[in-house]
């Protein structure tokens, strides 16, 4: 092993000068970076620890700078097109839209609406991400943007990742637009052949102005009359190509992507680095923070069920969330939704009206149960994570999460956000008997804060980007040596440099040509940059 190390060091010293350096010499001096050949030698034959760290820094810097330059180029391609609808939101249009809301919007919502309105009226395609903490009212902002688009004579589309969420958006928007003349429809995979045919004809003719749906809205047979705005909810569940599907050579609609899962800063600057960001953290007036408690002993469990029964007796409603639909084995059967549903009917909640809902149910059956829960006919809803987003029942004040250690922090926060949405205090019980140190840290973080942005950062630091958004998205981060958690400072630095170079046109100068070719070779196909950049 020692002989091998000596050979590697000797080879590095002899051949390091042959390594191509894509950064212009003047740029390296400006950024206080050692030449790449020198950095490689410093890594393998350092004279001091400072030399070693300087060499490592240079390799990480190159990795992140090239990625950030690709994102900046894609941002330029998306935001500099001038064939987007010019939608000026006048004072008259603003007043007409606001009259439809039964409440005053918060300062955070108004700020986000102003940013969206500025984009719509810029003449350039909007590509903005709206981050809103649970309960902060992102749907109201989406409705405002869609109505502003329709007022300008264009169609607006809202795409959700699941049919359940699409239906919930449909019901919410119908309530808001009860006294509006806006023509609207829902487009999902559950429509019959005749219903779908009629709906597609109405969309193509322009009769339907506001369309809500699942991925059915991006199928090849869907032709829009004059699409002005696309809103994609829970955007981290969709890929870049799905978002880009709406764009054509002739028309580029405005794009607003939304998430109620706060995103760590590092991921905002990488996976979503081409987007402008609007953040809403302020909750509506009167909304109380949800009290969260971990339940880990038998006496605590008994008290939790006593409290739940008291809440139901007082007229409130509750969710009980399970990590799976059916039992995988005898050991885990107690936390499967179907088994919990059966046992609660015979034990702790035998006197209550209980319903069961999960993703494998028939759409009509699931919709009927959710309607009964909304109406209060069902007092306790046993479910899987299908209630994670979009469900809004103001009378539901208690969330019980069984085997809470099996969920990530962001998912726990989303589930907790289903309660405390009305005038009554919300409570969340995290049932868990785990002794895992990592799991206990997650559950303690839930008890300590209700701030979704703090929770997102904690989840990111403990579990990384792959576990927060799934392995598919993590796999789309083609970094070679950089680590988003470890190298966040360098990430900030390279993002600022990349935006400056691309936006001011410096990156198009001949001295950056080798670096530009390298960026296109590395990321051109992945980010659909073409060959010109």
Give yes or no for residue 139 having a pLDDT over 60. yes
* pLDDT of amino acid 243: 53
Q: How far is CA 423 from CA 132, 284, 288, 370, 532, in A?
A: 20, 11, 8, 21, 56
Q: 286, 423 in Cβ contact below 8 A?
A: yes
Fold of domain 291-449: Rossmann fold (3.40.50)
CA distances (Å), origin 145, targets 88, 258, 372? 11, 12, 31
> How far lies 520's CA from each of 76, 354, 516, 533, in Å?
14, 57, 6, 7
Top-confidence range, 71-85, 330-344, 419-433:
419-433
Q: Quick one: average pLDDT of 203-217?
A: 92
Q: Are 476 and 526 in contact (CB under 8 A)?
A: yes
Query: Taking 60 as the threshold, does the pLDDT of residue 328 lie above it?
Result: no
How sure is the predictor about 95, in pLDDT bands with cuts at 50, 70 and 90? very high
The C-alpha atoms of residue 398 and residue 290 are separated, in whole angstroms, by 9
Please identify which residue in the block is written with the tokens 């009378």: 395
Query: Which stretches does DSSP call E strand in 222-346?
Result: 227-232, 254-259, 276-280, 291-295, 317-321
Q: What is the mean pLDDT of the chain?
A: 85
* Per-position b or e across 460-479, b if 16+ CB within 10 A of its CB: bebbebeebbeeebbeeeee
> What is the predicted pLDDT for the residue at 334?
53
478: pLDDT strictly greater than 60:
yes
pLDDT tens for residues 186-197?
Answer: 998 888 889 999
Given pLDDT bands bounded at 50, 70 and 90, which one contains residue 475? very low
Give the pTM.
Answer: 0.80
Q: Out of 3.40.50.300, 3.40.50.1110, 3.10.20.30, 3.40.1110.10, which CATH number does the structure's domain 91-280 have?
A: 3.40.50.300
pLDDT of residue 320: 94
Residue 350 tokens read as 């035998």
Quickly state the pLDDT bin for 326 (edges 50, 70, 90).
low
**Residues 484-507: pLDDT tens digits?**
889 999 999 999 999 999 999 999
Q: What is the pLDDT of residues 28-69, one digit of tens each?
A: 999 999 999 898 888 888 899 999 999 999 999 999 999 999
CATH 3.40.50.300 residue spans of the chain = 91-280, 291-449
Q: Name the strand (E) or helix (H) holding 428.
A: strand 427-431
Task: Reduce the secondary structure of 119-169 to three states and give it as a string.
Answer: HHCCCCCCEEEEEECCCCCHHHHHHHHHHHHHHCCCEEEEECCCHHHHHHH
């Amino acid at each position: 092993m020692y002989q091998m190390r000596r050979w590697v060091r000797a080879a590095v010293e002899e051949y390091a000068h042959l390594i191509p350096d894509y950064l212009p010499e003047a740029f390296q001096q400006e950024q206080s970076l050692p030449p790449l050949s020198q950095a490689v030698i410093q890594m393998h034959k350092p004279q001091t620890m400072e030399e070693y760290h300087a060499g490592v820094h240079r390799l990480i810097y190159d990795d992140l700078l090239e990625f950030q330059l690709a994102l900046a180029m894609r941002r330029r391609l998306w935001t500099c097109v001038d064939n987007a609808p010019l939608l000026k939101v006048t004072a008259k249009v603003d007043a007409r839209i606001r009259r439809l809301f039964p409440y005053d919007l918060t300062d955070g919502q108004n700020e986000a609406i102003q940013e969206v309105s500025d984009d719509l009226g810029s003449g350039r395609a909007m590509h903005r991400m709206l981050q809103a903490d649970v309960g902060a009212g992102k749907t109201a902002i989406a409705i405002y943007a869609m109505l502003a688009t329709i007022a300008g004579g264009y169609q607006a589309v809202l795409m959700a990742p699941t049919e359940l969420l699409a239906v919930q958006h449909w019901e919410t928007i119908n309530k808001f637009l009860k006294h509006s003349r806006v023509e609207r429809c829902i487009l999902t995979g559950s429509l019959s052949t005749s219903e779908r045919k009629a709906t597609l004809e109405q969309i193509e003719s322009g009769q339907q102005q506001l369309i809500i749906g699942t991925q059915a809205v991006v199928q090849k047979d869907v032709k829009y009359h004059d699409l002005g705005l696309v809103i994609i909810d829970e955007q981290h569940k969709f890929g870049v190509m799905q978002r880009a599907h709406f764009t054509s050579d002739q028309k580029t609609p405005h794009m607003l992507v939304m998430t109620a899962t706060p995103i760590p800063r590092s991921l905002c600057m990488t996976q979503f680095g081409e987007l402008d960001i609007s953040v809403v953290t302020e909750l509506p007036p009167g909304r109380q923070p949800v009290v969260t408690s971990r339940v880990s002993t038998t006496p605590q469990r008994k008290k939790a069920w006593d409290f739940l029964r008291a809440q139901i007796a007082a007229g409130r409603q509750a969710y009980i969330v399970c990590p799976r639909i059916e039992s995988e084995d005898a050991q885990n059967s107690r936390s499967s939704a179907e088994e919990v549903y059966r046992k609660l009917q015979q034990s702790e909640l035998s006197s209550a009206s209980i319903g069961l809902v999960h993703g494998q149910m028939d759409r009509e059956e699931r919709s009927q149960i959710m309607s009964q829960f909304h109406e209060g006919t069902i007092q306790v809803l046993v479910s899987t994570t299908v209630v994670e987003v979009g469900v809004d029942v103001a009378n539901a004040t208690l969330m019980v999460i069984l085997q809470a250690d099996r969920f990530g922090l962001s998912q726990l926060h989303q589930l907790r956000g289903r309660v405390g949405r009305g005038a009554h205090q919300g409570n969340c019980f995290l049932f868990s008997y785990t002794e895992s140190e990592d799991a206990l840290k997650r559950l303690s973080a839930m008890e300590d804060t209700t701030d979704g942005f703090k929770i997102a950062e904690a989840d990111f630091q403990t579990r990384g980007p792959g576990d927060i958004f799934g392995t598919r998205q993590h796999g789309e981060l083609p970094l070679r040596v950089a680590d988003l958690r470890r190298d966040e400072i360098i990430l900030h630095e390279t993002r600022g440099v990349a935006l400056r170079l691309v936006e001011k046109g410096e990156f198009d100068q001949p001295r950056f040509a080798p670096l530009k070719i390298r960026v296109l070779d590395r990321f051109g196909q992945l980010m659909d940059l073409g060959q010109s950049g």
